[in-house]
Amino acid sequence: MSRSLSPRATAAAPRWPGRLRSLAFGGDYNPEQWPEDVWVEDVRLMREAGVSMVSVGIFSWALLEPTEGEYDFAWLDRVLELLHDAGILVDLATPTAAPPAWFSRAYPESLPVTAEGVTLGIGARESFCPSSVDYRRAAVRIASALADRYSDHPALALWHVHNEYGAHVGPCYCTASTQAFRGWLRERYGTLDALNDAWGTSFWGQSYGDWEEITAPRRAPMPVNPAQQLDFRRFSSAEYLECYRLERDVLRELSPDVPVTTNFMATACPHIDYWHWADEVDVVTNDHYLIAEDPENHVHLAMTADLCRGLARGRSWLLLEHSTGAVNWQPRNLAKAPGEMRRNSLAHVARGSDGAMFFQWRASRSGAEKFHSAMLPHAGTDSRIWREVVELGADVGALAELQGTRVRADVAIVWDWEAWWGLELEFLPTVDLDYQERIRAYYETLWHGKVAVDFVSRDADLSGYRLVVAPSLYIVPGPVTRNLTEYVEGGGRLVVSFFSGLVDESDTIPPGPHPGGLRDLLGITIEEFHPLAAGDRVGVDGGLRADVWSERVVLRGATALRRFVDGPDAGEPAVTRHDVGAGSAWYVATRLDRHGLADVLEPALAGVEPLDVPAEVEGVRREGYLFLINHGDAEAVVAASGHDLLEGSEHDGEVAIPAGGVRVLRT
């Protein structure tokens, strides 16, 4: 099996949305859990709800291939015909996220192994090692059989490979993974001398004299070499990607006109570097679930949706799963309030999704997810959820003309999975460094400031943005330094948060003072870190308060805009600005709250026009359309004009949005 570090040439990707001529509305459909007389009722109710597409077969491997090499497609044939006759399209899955019991019994070495050396068992899903040759062979075989049978089926709109790669298992530390890791390292470094140099193996006497001495970084008496851990994370993401590619390639070969994807978990899966995956799918799709007890979970929803649009390089993407109500896996699974599902769904559409899909269509009676909400709940059609589903289906149908339109932003935030991995390593200056916390803090500040945001990779073309924010960009290789410097020199404005630019791609600190790769661009050096004790806070000029972090910043060309007023660095710079070429680079040396970040970002946002809407209203422009979502408890009024696609009403100069309501204007 190929283990190339770079994408290999494949057949030209088909265009999304393919056969779909409206926005996608529907959900995961698991008819195998029900007798056939229920299928007929399902299809009738799907039509009533306005369902346009359902995902089928995601966990059906044991039924489709009950014994090795022998297939039973009869039940799936009948399901697809029922759906097609009703005018409902199918997102057909390869069921490779749930290997059958017979497979695990026949190939026990395919089971995943944890960093502690524990082999995980069966009876759930994702019980496989991505490096297992036996698993890959079986996965390609079932994908080929499905494509042979259904490539020309008129209901087929999308191939759905696997399900949530790496979301719940992550890296595997078994013998097969160790052997594959050695091969990956040979390709990356070429020689052991190069590897020993990159990993700094002279520390703690770790130098390797033979490739066979290198192991997966299982639990050890002390933290394993951080460079080795980082490379293993890169390798593991690449191994899962190779599994996807193997299935995708056979699907493209046998059904070249049908788009192929796999569902991401964009902000919820630390194991997969989705920037390397995004160009390998024909449409970016995502599964998103609210954290029910988060009072601002709608802001996190917006952040995730914007990240998905970034992964799609600004093109349309698709929300492939979210929930109608409560989920089943959080500590306290709170139900959604009336109207919340509608706001959630339409907020995703506002931010670029060409549809709103759910897990799942009909609530399961057994299994681990029997208490998870569904489009058709246990309460049946005489329920609030069902009535809201039918109303939402009509809303999504009314928005069909938005298909393919884009969202534009003047501000970008750099999202980097490798930096996230780096901040999960041991022996950092404080346990309070949290990658997503800083990303979300800056995003929430901009969200509340009514500023549209894109997410970009660290090596993206930044020239189209007035402002770029890089929170916690811990790992900064040389090309990234050059990319950020060229952006600022060309007139861009860059805001960098603390603990950024400290190491290169091998987790090695460059010679000289911190912040390594960014010190010339920021015009500062850092003499010493002063992380704060739990609960301690420091003051910053202007009445700002901060916690977690302080440091001794030395100006090397930059100007101090704010200084610490107390704490270990009292009187020293806390916020700096360095003019470079036609642009400027700001540095924030502590963890400010939202109020403080808004104050600091204000001058950097000069020239960026926020949307003029009330505080409780989420406003998003999607080429030619304006979404207005009222998250408040009272009616809100916005100065806007246009035709409301949801209500059919005309507005000239003023729009009233009821409490918890949504307006979508063609402007």
CATH level 2 (architecture), domain 617-666: Sandwich (2.60)
- Rounded mean pLDDT of 289-311? 98
Beta pairing, strands 551-555 & 544-547:
unpaired
- Rounded mean pLDDT of 46-55? 98
Percent of the chain with pLDDT over 70: 98
Quote the pLDDT of residue 3.
36
Residue 13: pLDDT band (50, 70, 90) is: confident
Q: Would the pLDDT of 133 be above 60?
A: yes
Assign 472 to helix, strand or coil.
coil
Quick check: 469 and 411 in contact, CB under 8 A? yes
Residue 18: pLDDT band (50, 70, 90) is: confident
Quote the pLDDT of residue 494.
98
The CATH number assigned to the domain with range 24-191+225-402 reads 3.20.20.80
- Rounded mean pLDDT of 525-553? 98
Please confirm, yes or no, whether 424 is among the known catalytic residues. Answer: no
Residue 149, classified by CB atoms within 10 Å of its CB into exposed (0-12), middle (13-18) or buried (19+), is: middle
pLDDT in tens, 409-420: 999 999 999 999
Cα 265–268–274 angle (5° rounding)? Answer: 50
- Residue ranges, CATH 3.20.20.80, the chain: 24-191+225-402
- Rounded mean pLDDT of 105-124? 97
List, in sequence order, every residue forming a beta bridge with 597; answer none if it has no partner: none
List the structure tokens of 434.
């949290």
Residue found under tokens 């496989």: 128
Whole-angstrom CA distances from 661 to 13, 51, 152, 623, 657 are 39, 22, 42, 21, 6
- Rounded mean pLDDT of 78-96? 98
- Rounded mean pLDDT of 230-241? 98
Helices (H), ranges, 206-332? 226-254, 274-277, 297-311
pLDDT in tens, 192-226: 999 999 999 999 999 999 999 999 999 999 999 99
243 contact partners, CB below 8 Å, separation of at least 6: 96, 130, 135, 136, 139, 162, 165
Please confirm, yes or no, whether 164 is among the known catalytic residues. Answer: yes
Euclidean distance between CA atoms 45 and 51, whole angstroms: 9
Residue 10: pLDDT band (50, 70, 90) is: very low
Residue 157: pLDDT band (50, 70, 90) is: very high
pLDDT in tens, 494-507: 999 999 999 999 99
Residue 55, classified by CB atoms within 10 Å of its CB into exposed (0-12), middle (13-18) or buried (19+), is: buried
Q: Would the pLDDT of 279 be above 80?
A: yes
Residue 16: pLDDT band (50, 70, 90) is: confident
Euclidean distance between CA atoms 27 and 322, whole angstroms: 9
Q: Would the pLDDT of 375 be above 90?
A: yes
Name the active-site residue from 65, 126, 164, 551.
164
Q: Would the pLDDT of 8 be above 80?
A: no
The CATH number assigned to the domain with range 411-604 reads 3.40.50.880
From the list 453, 534, 389, the residue with the least C-alpha distance to 46 is 389
pLDDT in tens, 613-643: 999 999 999 999 999 999 999 999 999 999 9
Residue 500, classified by CB atoms within 10 Å of its CB into exposed (0-12), middle (13-18) or buried (19+), is: buried
Name the active-site residue from 239, 242, 247, 321.
321
With helix as H, strand as E and coil as C, how does 424-442 read? CCCCCCCCCCCHHHHHHHH
pLDDT in tens, 561-611: 999 999 999 999 999 999 999 999 999 999 999 999 999 999 999 999 999
Euclidean distance between CA atoms 439 and 419, whole angstroms: 11
Quote the pLDDT of residue 12.
65
List the structure tokens of 203.
């520390």
- Rounded mean pLDDT of 333-339? 98
Euclidean distance between CA atoms 118 and 174, whole angstroms: 9
The strand ranges marked E within 447-515 are 453-456, 467-470, 493-497
From the list 413, 456, 468, the residue with the least C-alpha distance to 584 is 468
Residue 17: pLDDT band (50, 70, 90) is: confident
Euclidean distance between CA atoms 260 and 33, whole angstroms: 26
Q: Would the pLDDT of 9 be above 80?
A: no
- Residue ranges, CATH 3.40.50.880, the chain: 411-604
Q: What is the pTM of this model?
A: 0.97
Euclidean distance between CA atoms 442 and 420, whole angstroms: 16
Quote the pLDDT of residue 2.
35
Residue type, 242: E
